[in-house]
């Protein structure tokens, strides 16, 4: 994962993104009503897309011209890199599962599960304490639910399984 | 008019009102300091409660919430590196490095005291010259706003760090994200792909949570296996305010300049506290004798951001009271709160509701005092947050962020956008693209587009129109100069950084 | 405790779902009613929703909790809640103008008939056609004549696609007025600012916002766009009196329920609302103080007729709106 290769990938991704954005900008429906306008809702998006394309090109150009990195620090294979960062992937997974479970299970249960899982992930292998994580998960989820739903009238999901 | 001063003061000195002010400031600080919950949300949630109160009680409570909420953001910004509220984004730039150096107490003390000073300066301007300033503010039309937004966008260069291309990319990404939803002017649907939820666009709050809160959780996840945890705990006993009188005096120009910026941005409707903090920060950096130290943990950065965002409160009250124009979501709510109690903002407010207006001024002053006291006493408690292990703190903060995301517009869709922004934030870190320009672009892009399109409409009717707008011309010229100089400085800094890295 | 509460809700939900309409009439309402407000806190739609909910609480004997679901001129809330459970415990408070104009502009693909109508329960104090006090015209006819004399020079600040824009359209299409229409913001306060700052010559804003400026002699109102003169301002003529008969824009506050809500429920709520609006002196005082409104509530049938009329009116301009 050296910076040269990184910039190249970033540049290519951004270039593709801006092309797609530009393409989408052409399909925006232009307001047909009265009121004068040479500049319409598609103008600025097109300008932004072109600017981004230029910047992406600059990034690609720069990364190609840059000297190859000294040393061989990027020998780490992709698979071992994924393995080393398993906590990161677990965190993202926990977050997305949390978001997905909020409506079916309701705020309280989903939050208990999420806090518990996230705490365990962040605790690391050496000092895992399931009881502590569990207590915090339950207390915080239930307390915040009651404060926000009953005092502040936020519409937190109750949970489809309870309906 | 002056005859109303004493009755105004008396109306606030009522024990119930004082009680509501203290409670309001306290609740505001809680909302401001928890990432995901903002000052605006505190006001939204308590506004209906104030409908049934006595006028001065209700209005004082709302003002107290506002003051507490804007100031409370600094706590999370300094201690957790997550801005508690959009207006404290710039506080993280130097606040967090200070806390990492073990000077969290000092950073908090500086933040609190200068929040107070900023609020009071804003209040003074509000009391002394508000009708005059209000009449200048209405002279700001499409041309002026368009060039002002352009000027503020040029800050991206200063805030970008060493890699200009990546800073600009970040800013543009923010601008492009903000184009999703209904277009300004004609409400055309853009990039919504037939999804109704996308019609409303993304909110700044979800972007902030995604970029700052989630990335903090991810950083903690990356650090789990790192053997050397740099536990920089601040066990330093805090004496007084946490910083010396000499340090206070050294910041006096910075404070006045930053407060002035905060007040001006506050007066102009629709720009908001997040921008004023960043503007003041870059102004302080550009005029400093040691610009290279900014971002490494010096109090100047905290002073600039916190004086500016709190001075904005007084600034925002100026058009609110004298013109009935709310400058942001929080003041729009205040306007509703005033009208419910038959205080009609407008040119006649001093004649019709003089007592209430002075009541508001005193409520603002007392709120500032309550904020100062509560937060100074609180510093020792806040600082303990640093001792709570991150693995216990961050999951709970994430849940509160999710509540904030839902509560923002009462819809589940925003939870998903938070998660997606979290992924984007992580990818940006990996690609070494800074986050802050993105926020700047996200806020300013729509302001620029809206006013650019309006200006074009006006220019079509009267092609020579631009000439009659000296303020706009001024902004335009300044923007060109600023771009030129900050590009030069940016190249110098980047070269210096590169040299120091290679040696 | 939580289990018990859940079981209770479950039981209540089952009873309501299973109960025939006649039975629902007797027991409704037996639990908290959620009222979804389609616009943000602090505005007029929100204030009216909160006021009526407070009064309904007393009348119906259960809590009525208002939640603001905001975004895209109310269309987010309406789309999200039109298919909610039709048990009478979810009500939607919005304004009829947003409902009709969102459909006409294509922002949403449904109209009032996607809901069960509970009733129109309020009428805004009316948009006024405003010019600065030093403007040479004193009524609508003079203004229109001036635009014909110097076409495309007098700027009319509107919110593109909003009711002010439609008012402009009506003047252009029916009376051949020749304004230069420019965007000046969806918020009435924003348009007022532009007018005062001299960025536009004419604008349209609610009377509440203009009142202070009319009284202080900075702005004058040429006419109101309401169908009748506002009782608080008997001197300001209506637009239809001033020679543009079709220029009538009433912003009506309306309560809706998800499609399929039993008629017994909507009738019961409608009766309660009408009783409050027409007979409660506290309500009357509150809407007068906040927004210069006078009590206005319609039966279900009348509300539907009014909504239909407004929808057709808006749809006839839909080609200018998309």
Is CATH 3.40.190.10 the right assignment for the domain spanning C127-224? yes
Residues A34, C169: C-beta atoms closer than 8 Å: yes
Taking the Cβ of residue B51 and every Cβ of chain C, the question of whether any pair is shorter than 8 Å is answered with: yes
Q: What is the rounded distance in angstroms from the CA atom of residue C75 to the CA atom of residue B149? A: 29
Residue A22 resides in a domain: yes
Residue B296 has pLDDT above 50, yes or no: yes
Q: What is the rounded distance in angstroms from the CA atom of residue B42 to the CA atom of residue B63? A: 11
Mean pLDDT for all residues in chain B: 86
Residues A155, B406: C-beta atoms closer than 8 Å: yes
Closest of C282, C262, C196, C194 to residue C19, by C-alpha: C262
A58 and A89 part of one domain: no
Q: Would you state the pLDDT for residue C2?
A: 40
Confidence label for B338 from pLDDT (cuts 50, 70 and 90) = confident
Lowest mean pLDDT among B491-495, C15-19, C294-298: C15-19
Taking the Cβ of residue A131 and every Cβ of chain B, the question of whether any pair is shorter than 8 Å is answered with: no
Residue C17 has pLDDT above 70, yes or no: no
Q: What is the rounded distance in angstroms from the CA atom of residue C99 to the CA atom of residue C256? A: 11
Q: Which whole number is the average pLDDT over C189-204? A: 89
Q: What is the rounded distance in angstroms from the CA atom of residue B94 to the CA atom of residue C100? A: 51
Taking the Cβ of residue C34 and every Cβ of chain A, the question of whether any pair is shorter than 8 Å is answered with: yes
Q: Would you state the pLDDT for residue C20?
A: 41
Q: Would you state the pLDDT for residue A70?
A: 58
Q: Would you state the pLDDT for residue C16?
A: 41
Residues B396, A115: C-beta atoms closer than 8 Å: yes
B284-294: pLDDT as tens digits: 988 888 888 88
Residue A76 resides in a domain: no
Q: Which of B176, B185, B224 sits opposite A122 (nearest CB)?
A: B224
Taking the Cβ of residue A67 and every Cβ of chain B, the question of whether any pair is shorter than 8 Å is answered with: no
Distance from CA of A107 to the nearest CA of B (A): 9
Q: Which residue of B has its CA nearest to C201?
A: B458
Q: What is the rounded distance in angstroms from the CA atom of residue B490 to the CA atom of residue C55? A: 62
C2-124+250-320 and C127-224 share one fold: yes
Q: Which of C41, C42, C213 sits opposite B346 (nearest CB)?
A: C213
Residues A35, C182: C-beta atoms closer than 8 Å: yes
Question: Could you tell me the residue ranges of all domains in chain C?
Answer: 2-124+250-320, 127-224
Question: Are B254 and B303 within 8 A, CB to CB?
Answer: yes
Confidence label for A114 from pLDDT (cuts 50, 70 and 90) = very high
Residue A51 resides in a domain: yes
Instruction: Output B267 or B64, whichever has higher pLDDT.
Output: B64
Taking the Cβ of residue C12 and every Cβ of chain A, the question of whether any pair is shorter than 8 Å is answered with: no
What is the number of structural domains in chain A? 2
Residue A75 resides in a domain: no
C137-161: pLDDT as tens digits: 999 999 999 999 988 889 999 887 7
Residues B190, A102: C-beta atoms closer than 8 Å: no
Residues C76, B349: C-beta atoms closer than 8 Å: no
Task: Identify all chain C residues contacting A158, using CB atoms and an 8 Å cutoff.
Answer: 9
Q: Which of C42, C105, C193 sits opposite B333 (nearest CB)?
A: C42
Q: Would you state the pLDDT for residue C92?
A: 92
Residue B227 has pLDDT above 80, yes or no: no
A53 and A85 part of one domain: no
Taking the Cβ of residue C292 and every Cβ of chain B, the question of whether any pair is shorter than 8 Å is answered with: no
Instruction: Output B107 or A5, whichever has higher pLDDT.
Output: B107
Residues B325, C190: C-beta atoms closer than 8 Å: yes
Residue B319 has pLDDT above 90, yes or no: no
Confidence label for C5 from pLDDT (cuts 50, 70 and 90) = very low
DSSP symbol at A151: I
Residues C183, A35: C-beta atoms closer than 8 Å: yes
Backbone angles phi, psi at C108, to 5 degrees: -130, 160
Read off the tokens for B84: 């508690």
B401-410: pLDDT as tens digits: 999 888 877 7
C71-89: pLDDT as tens digits: 777 888 888 888 888 888 8
Task: Identify all chain B residues contacting C36, using CB atoms and an 8 Å cutoff.
Answer: 410
Those chains having 3 or more beta-carbon pairs within 8 angstroms of chain B are: A, C
Residues A31, C172: C-beta atoms closer than 8 Å: no
Which segment, B458-472, C29-43, C122-136, is predicted with the most confidence on average? C122-136
Confidence label for B156 from pLDDT (cuts 50, 70 and 90) = confident
Distance from CA of A72 to the nearest CA of C (A): 52
Read off the tokens for B135: 């009449």
Residue A11 resides in a domain: yes
Confidence label for B417 from pLDDT (cuts 50, 70 and 90) = very high
Q: Would you state the pLDDT for residue B327?
A: 75
DSSP labels, B222-278: HHTT-S--------PPP-TTSS-HHHHHHTHHHHHHHHHHHHHHHHSTT--HHHHHH
Lowest mean pLDDT among B331-340, B395-404, C176-185: B331-340
Task: Identify all chain A residues contacting C12, using CB atoms and an 8 Å cutoff.
Answer: none
Q: Residue A45 is part of which domain span?
A: 3-69
Residue C95 has pLDDT above 80, yes or no: yes
Q: Would you state the pLDDT for residue C3?
A: 41
Instruction: Output C75 or B124, whichever has higher pLDDT.
Output: B124
Residues B199, C47: C-beta atoms closer than 8 Å: no
Residues C69, B348: C-beta atoms closer than 8 Å: no
Question: Are B82 and B215 within 8 A, CB to CB?
Answer: no
Confidence label for B502 from pLDDT (cuts 50, 70 and 90) = low
A120-133: pLDDT as tens digits: 998 877 778 899 89
Task: Identify all chain A residues contacting C85, using CB atoms and an 8 Å cutoff.
Answer: 163
Q: Which whole number is the average pLDDT over B85-92? A: 90
Q: Which whole number is the average pLDDT over C235-247? A: 88
Instruction: Output C119 or A68, whichever has higher pLDDT.
Output: C119
Please write down the long-range contacts of A56-59, taking CB distance under 8 Å and 24 or more positions apart.
A56/A11, A56/A12, A56/A14, A56/A15, A56/A18, A56/B169, A57/A11, A57/A15, A58/A11, A58/B165, A59/A7, A59/A8, A59/A10, A59/A11, A59/A14, A59/B165, A59/B166, A59/B169
Task: Identify all chain C residues contacting A32, using CB atoms and an 8 Å cutoff.
Answer: 319-320, 322
Q: Would you state the pLDDT for residue A71?
A: 52
Residue C243 has pLDDT above 90, yes or no: no
Q: Look at phi and psi of residue B20 and say left if phi exceeds 0, alpha if psi is from -120 to 50, else beta.
A: alpha
Mean pLDDT for all residues in chain C: 84
Q: Which residues of A touch C (CB under 8 A)?
A: 29, 31-36, 108, 142, 153-155, 158, 162-163
Q: Which whole number is the average pLDDT over C101-126? A: 87
A42 and A92 part of one domain: no
A52 and A94 part of one domain: no
Q: Would you state the pLDDT for residue B228?
A: 52
B95-116: pLDDT as tens digits: 999 988 888 888 999 999 999 9
Confidence label for A35 from pLDDT (cuts 50, 70 and 90) = low
Distant-in-sequence, close-in-space partners of B145: CB < 8 Å, separation ≥ 6 = B268, B270, B447, B450, B451
Distance from CA of B353 to the nearest CA of C (A): 12
A139 and A98 part of one domain: yes
C261-278: pLDDT as tens digits: 888 889 899 999 999 999
Question: Could you tell me the residue ranges of all domains in chain B?
Answer: 2-224+242-502
Q: Which of A33, A108, A153 sits opposite C67 (nearest CB)?
A: A153
Task: Identify all chain B residues contacting A86, using CB atoms and an 8 Å cutoff.
Answer: none
Q: Would you state the pLDDT for residue A68?
A: 67
Taking the Cβ of residue B395 and every Cβ of chain C, the question of whether any pair is shorter than 8 Å is answered with: no
Query: Does an H or E element contain B79, and which?
Result: helix B55-80
B181-209: pLDDT as tens digits: 888 887 788 998 888 788 888 988 899 89
Residues B457, A156: C-beta atoms closer than 8 Å: no
Residue A74 resides in a domain: no
Q: Would you state the pLDDT for residue B503?
A: 56
Distant-in-sequence, close-in-space partners of A22: CB < 8 Å, separation ≥ 6 = A45, A46, A49, A50, A53
Under CATH, domain C2-124+250-320 is a member of which superfamily?
Bordetella uptake gene, domain 1 (3.40.190.150)
Taking a contact as any Cβ pair under 8 Å apart, which residues of chain C between 287 and 306 contact chain A? none
Residue C45 has pLDDT above 80, yes or no: yes
Confidence label for B262 from pLDDT (cuts 50, 70 and 90) = very high
Question: Are C219 and C117 within 8 A, CB to CB?
Answer: no
Task: Identify all chain A residues contacting C180, using CB atoms and an 8 Å cutoff.
Answer: 36
Final residue belonging to a domain, choices A27, A49, A69: A69
Residue A93 has pLDDT above 90, yes or no: yes
Confidence label for B267 from pLDDT (cuts 50, 70 and 90) = confident
Q: Would you state the pLDDT for residue A37?
A: 67
Distance from CA of C22 to the nearest CA of B (A): 33
Confidence label for C4 from pLDDT (cuts 50, 70 and 90) = very low
B437-495: pLDDT as tens digits: 898 899 889 889 999 998 988 888 888 878 888 889 998 998 999 888 888 887 887 77
DSSP symbol at B331: H
């Amino acid at each position: 994962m050296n910076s040269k290769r990184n910039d190249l990938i970033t540049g290519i991704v951004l270039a593709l993104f801006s092309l797609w954005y530009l393409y989408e900008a052409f399909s925006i429906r232009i307001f047909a009503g009265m009121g004068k306008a040479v500049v319409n809702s598609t103008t600025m998006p097109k300008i932004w897309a072109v600017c981004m394309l230029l910047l992406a090109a600059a990034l690609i150009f720069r990364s190609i011209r840059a000297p190859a990195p000294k040393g061989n620090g990027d020998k780490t294979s992709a698979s071992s890199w994924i393995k080393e960062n398993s906590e990161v992937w677990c965190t993202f997974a926990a977050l997305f599962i949390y978001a997905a479970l909020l409506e079916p299970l309701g705020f309280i249960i989903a939050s208990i599960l999420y806090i518990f899982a996230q705490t365990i992930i962040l605790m690391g292998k050496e000092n895992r304490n399931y009881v502590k994580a569990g207590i915090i998960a339950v207390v915080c989820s239930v307390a915040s639910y009651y404060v926000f739903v009953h005092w502040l009238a936020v519409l937190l999901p109750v949970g489809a399984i309870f309906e | 008019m002056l005859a109303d001063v004493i009755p105004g003061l008396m109306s606030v000195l009522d024990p119930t009102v004082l009680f509501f002010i203290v409670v309001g400031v306290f609740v505001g600080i809680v909302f401001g300091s928890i990432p995901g919950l903002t000052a605006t949300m505190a006001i939204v949630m308590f506004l209906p409660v104030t409908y049934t109160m006595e006028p001065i009680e209700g209005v004082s409570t709302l003002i107290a919430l506002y003051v507490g909420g804007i100031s409370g953001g600094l706590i999370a910004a300094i201690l957790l590196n997550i801005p508690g509220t959009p207006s404290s984004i710039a506080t993280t730039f130097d606040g967090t490095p200070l806390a990492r150096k073990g000077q969290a107490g000092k950073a908090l003390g500086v933040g609190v005291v200068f929040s107070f000073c900023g609020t009071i300066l804003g209040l003074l301007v509000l009391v002394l010259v508000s009708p005059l300033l209000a009449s200048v503010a209405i002279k700001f039309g499409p041309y002026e706003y368009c060039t002002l937004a352009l000027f503020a966008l040029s800050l991206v260069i200063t805030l970008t760090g060493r890699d200009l291309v990546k800073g600009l990319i970040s800013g543009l990404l923010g601008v492009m994200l903000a184009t999703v939803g209904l277009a300004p002017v004609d409400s055309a649907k853009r990039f919504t792909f037939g999804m109704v939820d996308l019609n409303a666009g993304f909110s700044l709050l979800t972007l902030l949570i995604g970029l700052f809160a989630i990335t903090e959780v991810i950083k903690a996840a990356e650090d789990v296996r790192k053997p050397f945890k740099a536990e920089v705990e601040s066990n330093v006993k805090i004496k007084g305010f946490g910083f010396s009188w000499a340090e206070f005096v050294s910041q006096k120009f910075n404070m006045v300049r930053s407060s002035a910026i905060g007040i001006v941005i506050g007066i102009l409707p629709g720009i908001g506290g997040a921008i004023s903090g960043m503007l003041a920060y870059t102004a302080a950096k550009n005029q400093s004798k040691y610009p290279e130290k900014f971002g490494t943990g010096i109090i100047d950065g905290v002073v600039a951001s916190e004086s500016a965002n709190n001075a904005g409160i007084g600034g925002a009250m100026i058009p609110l009271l004298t013109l009935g124009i709310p400058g942001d979501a929080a003041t729009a709510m205040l306007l509703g709160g005033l009208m419910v109690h038959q205080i009609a903002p407008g040119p006649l407010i001093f004649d019709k509701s003089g007592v209430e207006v002075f009541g508001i001024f005193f409520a603002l002053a007392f709120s500032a005092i309550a904020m100062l006291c509560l937060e100074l006493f609180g510093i020792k408690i806040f600082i303990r947050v640093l001792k709570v292990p991150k693995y216990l703190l961050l999951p709970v903060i994430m849940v509160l962020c999710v509540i904030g995301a839902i509560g923002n517009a009462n819809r589940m869709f925003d939870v998903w956008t938070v998660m997606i922004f979290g992924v984007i934030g992580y990818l940006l870190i990996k690609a070494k693209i800074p986050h802050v320009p993105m926020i700047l672009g996200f806020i300013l892009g729509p302001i620029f587009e809206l006013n650019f399109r309006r200006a074009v409409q006006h220019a079509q009717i009267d092609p020579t129109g631009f000439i009659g707008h000296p303020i706009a011309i001024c902004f335009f010229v300044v923007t060109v100069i600023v771009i030129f100089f900050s590009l030069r400085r940016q190249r110098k800094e980047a070269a210096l950084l590169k040299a120091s890295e290679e040696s | 405790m939580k289990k018990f509460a859940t079981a209770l809700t479950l039981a209540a939900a089952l009873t309501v779902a299973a109960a025939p309409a006649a039975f629902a009439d007797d027991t409704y309402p037996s639990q908290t009613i959620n009222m979804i407000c389609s616009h943000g806190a602090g505005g007029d739609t929100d204030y009216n929703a909160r006021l009526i909910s407070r009064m309904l609480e007393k009348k119906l004997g259960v809590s009525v909790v208002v939640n603001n679901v905001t975004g895209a001129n109310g269309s987010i809330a309406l789309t999200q809640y039109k298919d909610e459970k039709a048990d009478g415990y979810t009500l939607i408070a919005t304004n009829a103008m947003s409902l009709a104009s969102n459909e006409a502009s294509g922002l949403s693909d449904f109209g009032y008939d996607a809901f069960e109508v509970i009733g129109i329960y309020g009428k805004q104090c009316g948009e006024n056609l405003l010019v600065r006090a030093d403007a040479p015209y004193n009524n609508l006819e003079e203004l229109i004549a001036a635009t014909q004399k110097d076409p495309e020079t007098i700027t009319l600040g509107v919110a593109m696609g909003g009711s002010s824009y439609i008012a402009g359209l009506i003047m252009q299409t029916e009376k051949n007025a020749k304004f230069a229409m420019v965007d000046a913001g969806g918020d009435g306060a924003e348009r007022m600012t532009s007018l005062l700052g001299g960025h536009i010559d004419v604008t349209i804003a609610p009377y509440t916002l203009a009142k202070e400026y009319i009284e202080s002699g900075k702005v004058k109102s040429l006419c109101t766009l309401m169908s009748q003169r506002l009782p608080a301002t008997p001197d300001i003529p209506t637009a239809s009196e001033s020679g543009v008969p079709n220029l009538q824009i009433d912003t009506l506050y309306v309560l809706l329920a998800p499609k399929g809500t039993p008629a017994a429920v909507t009738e019961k709520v409608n009766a309660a609302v009408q009783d409050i609006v027409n007979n409660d002196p506290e309500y009357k005082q509150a809407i007068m103080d906040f927004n210069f409104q006078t009590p206005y509530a319609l039966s279900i049938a009348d509300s539907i007729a009014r909504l239909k009329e407004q929808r057709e009116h808006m749809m006839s301009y839909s080609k200018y709106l998309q």
